[in-house]
Amino acid sequence: MRTHLMAEAMCWDLSLNVTADYACANTEFSYFCSHSVCLQEVRPKKIVNAHFFAPGMHVPGCPNEPEKSDGDGTAQKPAKRVSIVAPPAVPTELGPAKSRKGKVRKPTKVELLALSDALEGKPPCCAGTLIEVVNAWRAMPKDRRPEKQLSINDEKFTYESAFYCISEFGESPIEQLPCTTRVIHGAARVEDAENCYWIRSVKTFPADNCKVNLIIRVPKDNGITAKYMKDLLAIYQGATSFTLFYFGDVPKLSASGKSYGISKDISNDYERFVVVPD
């Protein structure tokens, strides 16, 4: 019996466990209760919190069967489920979620049973923005990082292997920085200048006959990203040392040759940088 909202189900089209939030955004796919005794089709719905419901009812005894209210025995009504807000799921993919093709036909019971066996115990697939992925990484005990899967551009990593600290980079040419495949991170300083915010890596990288920092310039008229920086500095007033996380194009040497700049669209929720105070 279930006393809370059903938050996860199997997606037949993707052959993955998914969250109700994911299903609400992808209603064209078919979802099923993952318990082998049941395997009933379920549908996503969002009133306050996203959840699944079974139009055809769960099989009696299914752990997802909603709790019945105690009545007089004539007309049992489902009890009111507690609308709990689930803690944010640990992203299994650096988003945005790929739009994938659905399957053309409905599955047979045998196929659903095989899928239920294959997915047993697997966490739901969930795409996260760079901020969500970084927050999950920071909140996770270090010894759990090698166990937690994280896909980036369809390449399978763990929360350990998907992150790369730039202090390990040595003196190699910046073209070898693995920022297009993994999330790089390292100590940085943030400066609130007149027309922009400067985010400058502490580590320097070899350039023409000298060593220069990696720099992100956020113009103050750059809507979302400028607001992100303004809010960040307001919350962490006085903080001077930060950690910069970045995923995207390899930084390019500026025209002056005095820095490596990141020119990728820094407003993109999924690929922009994240800065957190130390």
Which residue, 23 or 262, is less far from Zn ion as judged by CB? 23
Choices 53-61, 70-78, 157-165, 170-178 (CB under 5 A): range interacting with Zn ion: 53-61
Residue 62 in the binding site for Zn ion (CB under 5 A) = yes
- The encoded tokens of residue 117 equal 């066996």
- The encoded tokens of residue 186 equal 């390292």
Find the shortest distance in angstroms from Cβ 42 to Zn ion: 7
Q: CA 188, CA 235: separation in Å to the nearest integer?
A: 17
- The encoded tokens of residue 9 equal 């189900």
Which residue, 62 or 275, is less far from Zn ion as judged by CB? 62
Among 20, 38, 94, 162, binds Zn ion (CB under 5 A): 38
Residue at 172: amino acid letter: S
CA 114, 116, 120, 123 dihedral sign is positive
Residue 33 in the binding site for Zn ion (CB under 5 A) = yes
- Residue 198 CB coordination number (10 Å): 17
Find the shortest distance in angstroms from Cβ 13 to Zn ion: 19
Find the shortest distance in angstroms from Cβ 1 to Zn ion: 11
Query: Do the beta carbons of residue 58 and residue 38 sit within 8 Å?
Result: yes
Residue 34 in the binding site for Zn ion (CB under 5 A) = no
Find the shortest distance in angstroms from Cβ 112 to Zn ion: 11
Find the shortest distance in angstroms from Cβ 9 to Zn ion: 9
Among 64, 116, 213, 225, binds Zn ion (CB under 5 A): 64
Find the shortest distance in angstroms from Cβ 39 to Zn ion: 7
Residue 116 in the binding site for Zn ion (CB under 5 A) = no
The backbone region for 111, taken as left when phi is positive above 0, alpha when psi lies in -120 to 50, beta otherwise, is: alpha
Which residue, 58 or 217, is less far from Zn ion as judged by CB? 58
Comparing CA positions, the residue from 170, 171, 154 lying closest to residue 162 is: 154
Q: CA 93, CA 107: separation in Å to the nearest integer?
A: 26
Q: Which residues bind Zn ion (CB under 5 A)?
A: 33, 35, 38, 58, 62, 64
